[in-house]
């Protein structure tokens, strides 16, 4: 398959999800290629991963900007030099403003380490353990103006074991993140997946609930 879409990936840290997206994009059948990586943190390990893969990588430190809107304007300006079809947030620890979100609405994905709508926000693994839940997981969703609440596309479930710690649970969830993110990215890039209003459509049919992998 020829590459149909280009994607920019925004990161803040280790970039293991970025790596999973890069690895999947190397498949001859991949419908997307990653054209740019942007981090809001200097020294993010993900920037090195991008460079190793030969992908242009840039840091735009959020500390250089007083207002969130100004930061997002700078992000949009850099993205405008690349004109990606799609934008994937992969461990990007910044809340985006509506101007940014509206610019890429329907073309902007995020991955979150919980079975949304359960546990939006931070420290999800700790909170799942504290709640005594027996099932945890991760979600790829379209990004909307409210934090971690955009329409969900794909979820991966991870059973919680009695002996789990925050670290062991986080590691198992992360492995599943690396499976579901490239899957959702491909569905979007091929055009099989669409956001219409605030509902998710796959192959011309509205999804009643997220795909469970």
Looking at residue 96, what DSSP letter applies? P
Query: From the centroid of its chain, how far is CA 79?
Result: 16
* Backbone φ, ψ for residue 110 (5° rounding): -135, 155
Helices (H), the chain: 16-25, 45-52, 68-80, 98-103, 124-131, 166-190
Q: Write out the residues near ligand GRF by the rule CB under 6 A.
A: 11, 13-17, 46, 90-91, 111-113, 174, 177
Measured from the CB atom, the residue of 43 and 204 that comes closer to ligand GRF is 43
Please confirm, yes or no, whether 112 is among the known catalytic residues: yes
For residue 204, the minimal CB distance to ligand GRF (Å) is 29
- Residue number, 196 or 212, with CB nearest to ligand GRF: 212
The residue with tokens 């300006």 is: 77
Measuring CA to CA, which residue among 139, 96, 132 is closest to residue 117?
139
Q: Which is nearer to ligand GRF, 80 or 122 (CB)?
A: 122
Token pair recorded at residue 106: 């329907």
For the CB of residue 95, give the shortest distance to ligand GRF in the complex, in Å: 12
Give the nearer residue to ligand GRF in terms of CB position, either 149 or 194.
149
Check 112, 125, 136, 141 and give the catalytic one. Answer: 112
Point out which residues pair with 33 in neighbouring strands: 6
Residue with smaller CB distance to ligand GRF, 91 or 210: 91
- Tell me the sheet residues that pair with 109: 88, 142
**Residue matched to tokens 């605030």:** 198
Q: Which among 130, 146, 137, 151 has a CA at the least distance from the CA of 195?
A: 151
Euclidean distance between CA atoms 79 and 142, whole angstroms: 19
> What residue number has its CB nearest to ligand GRF?
91
Q: How far is the CB of 13 from ligand GRF (least distance, A)?
A: 4
Shortest distance in whole angstroms from residue 137 CB to ligand GRF: 11
Helix 166-190 × helix 124-131 angle, to 10°: 120
Q: How far is the CB of 151 from ligand GRF (least distance, A)?
A: 17
Active-site positions read: 112
């Amino acid at each position: 398959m020829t590459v149909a879409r280009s994607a920019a990936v925004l990161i803040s840290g280790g970039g293991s999800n970025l790596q999973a997206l890069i690895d999947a994009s190397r498949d001859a059948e991949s419908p997307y290629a990653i054209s740019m990586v942007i981090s809001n943190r200097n020294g993010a390990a993900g920037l090195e991963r991008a460079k190793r893969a030969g992908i242009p990588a840039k840091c735009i430190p959020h500390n250089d900007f007083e207002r969130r809107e100004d930061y997002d304007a700078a992000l949009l300006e850099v993205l405008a030099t690349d004109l990606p079809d799609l934008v994937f947030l992969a461990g990007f620890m910044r809340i985006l403003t509506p101007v940014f979100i509206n610019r890429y609405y329907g073309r902007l994905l995020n991955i979150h380490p919980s079975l949304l709508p359960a546990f939006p926000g931070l420290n999800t693994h700790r909170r799942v353990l504290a709640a005594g839940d027996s099932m945890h997981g991760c979600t790829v969703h379209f990004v909307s103006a409210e934090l971690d609440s955009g329409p969900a596309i794909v979820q991966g479930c991870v059973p919680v074991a009695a002996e789990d710690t925050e670290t062991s649970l986080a590691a198992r969830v992360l492995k599943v993140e690396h499976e579901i993110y490239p899957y959702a990215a491909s569905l979007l890039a091929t055009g099989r997946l669409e956001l219409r209003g605030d509902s998710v459509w796959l192959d011309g049919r509205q999804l009643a609930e997220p795909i469970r992998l």
